Amino acid sequence: MSETKMQKQKKIIAMFDDIAKSYDVANRILSLGIDRSWRRDGIKKALSLCKGERLKIADVACGTGDMLQFWHDGLGGREVDLSGIDPSAGMLEVAGKKLKELKNIKLHQGMAQDLNMLDSDSMDVVSISFGIRNVTDLEAGIGEFARVLKNGGILLILEFMREEKRGVLDRLMGFYTTKILPLIGGMISRNYRAYAYLPNSIEGFKSTEELSEILKKYGLNIRLKKTYSAGIATLILCQKEIK
C-alpha cells in the first residue's frame, strides 16, 4: 500500500519536531548565513509591490520564526499584523521564545493545506520560505494561499528548486547536499535522516516551470522570478488576480 499524502505529512512534521531545538544552529552552519541575504532581498521586493501603510502578513511553514523576524525588521516604518503558521509544535515553541519581545505577532499550529485560522481575502502578503517542498498536497496549499490573499495580494516563495538544466556548480551543490550536508547536520542534530531528507525533497519537488503552471491555475500571476547564488535558491513573487 502506498503512503498517503497525510501519512507522509505527519512523518515530515515529526521529523521537524525532533530537530527543532538544533535547527537554527545547524542551518546557520550549513548555509554560512547566506540565506539571510536571500530573505531580506525577497522581502524588499515583495514590499515594493504592496500598497498601504498597515499590512497583514502571514508566514506559512514559519518554523523557528526567522522569516517573521525579517518581515518585522524590513518594514521600513510600516505597521503590520504578522501571523506565523507551522504544523510542528516543536518549531513553534522555539519561535515563541525567539519572538517574545515583538508585538503584533501571532503563532498558529496548522498546515499550509488548511489555513482555517485566516479569513478569506484577508492577507496583503503570504510568504513561505524553504517550506513549500514539504507540503505534500501542493495544490491544496496553493489553493489556500490564493483563498486568504486579498485581490492584488502578494505571494512570496523562496525555495531550493529542482532545475532541468544542470551545470558544474549544480553538480557541486548536489555533492554537498547529498554527501556533506547530511553528515554535518546529522552530527549537530543527532538526526542524520532529517538532513538526508533535504536533497531527496529537492529532487522530488517540482521544477520552477512546473510550479509556475500550478500557481497560474489558481490565479496567482508571476511578477518576478530570481535566482540567488548561481541558482542555489529561487525567489518567486506572485500577485493574486484583481477581480
Q: What does the angle CA 42 – CA 45 – CA 49 come to, to the nearest 5 degrees?
A: 135
**Model confidence pLDDT, tens digit, residues 177-204:** 565 666 666 666 666 676 666 666 666 6
Q: How far is CA 171 from CA 72, 168, 175, 196, 230, in A?
A: 36, 5, 6, 17, 12
Task: Give the DSSP H or E segment for 92.
Answer: helix 89-98
Helices 208-217/138-148 angle, 10° precision: 50
What global pTM score does this model have? 0.87
Query: Could you tell me the sign of the dihedral formed by the alpha carbons of 25, 20, 37, 193, in that order?
Result: positive
Band the pLDDT of 2: cuts 50, 70, 90. Answer: very low
